[in-house]
């Protein structure tokens, strides 16, 4: 398969545990839903349920400058307790 500009590079998947580097009060979050468009230029979103009781949606395409990775959402390595 050849790469083209419309291919998505997804960062998160359902079940991933994450945290935000800036908003510690949100606590640990878990990805509860993933939606993506098959149309060229369509968005990919994830919905994350955080410990503070709120669910927040983020862009999940690493090709997009507003991807949750670039805005501070980081995966938690379940084998490294110091990152939590």
For the record, the structure tokens of 31 come out as 């990805």
Which 3 state secondary structure label does DSSP give 42?
Answer: coil
- Per the CB < 8 A criterion, the answer to whether 62 and 10 are in contact is yes
* pLDDT, tens digit, 9 for 90 and up, residues 2-45: 545 556 788 999 999 999 999 999 999 999 999 988 777 788 99
pTM of the model: 0.81
CA-based diameter of the chain, in Å?
A: 42
Q: What would the mean pLDDT of 41-50 be, rounded to a whole number?
A: 92
- Residue 2's CB is within 10 A of a number of other CB atoms, namely 4
């Amino acid at each position: 398969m050849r790469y083209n500009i419309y291919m998505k590079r997804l960062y998160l998947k359902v079940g991933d545990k994450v945290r935000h580097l800036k908003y510690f009060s949100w606590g640990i979050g878990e990805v509860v839903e993933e939606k993506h468009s098959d149309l060229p230029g369509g968005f990919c979103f994830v919905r994350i349920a955080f410990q503070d009781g709120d669910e927040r949606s983020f862009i999940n395409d690493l090709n997009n400058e507003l991807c949750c990775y670039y805005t501070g959402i980081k995966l938690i390595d379940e084998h490294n307790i110091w990152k939590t």
